[in-house]
Amino acid sequence: MKKKLDTRFPAVRIKKIMQTDEDVGKIAMAVPVLVSKALELFLQDLVDRTYDITVHRGAKTVNSLHL
């Protein structure tokens, strides 16, 4: 039984982007799903850290200096 992994980024679109590189051959469908999940986790971590820095500095808005 296969378990569907819910991701926020479309795996089909990621696969198309990966295939635009001429050095990339065949891509298993699991790879774009994993890349999608990794991207989601990376962005969540980036947002969490940016929020912490913004709160620590007492700012009311997020700007590029908080990244």
Predicted pLDDT of residue 8: 84
Q: What is the mean pLDDT of the chain?
A: 88
User: What does pTM read for this prediction?
Assistant: 0.76
Predicted pLDDT of residue 7: 78
Instruction: Write the DSSP assignment of 1-66 as a string of letters.
Output: -PPPPP-SS-HHHHHHHHHTSTT-----THHHHHHHHHHHHHHHHHHHHHHHHHHHHT-SS--GGG
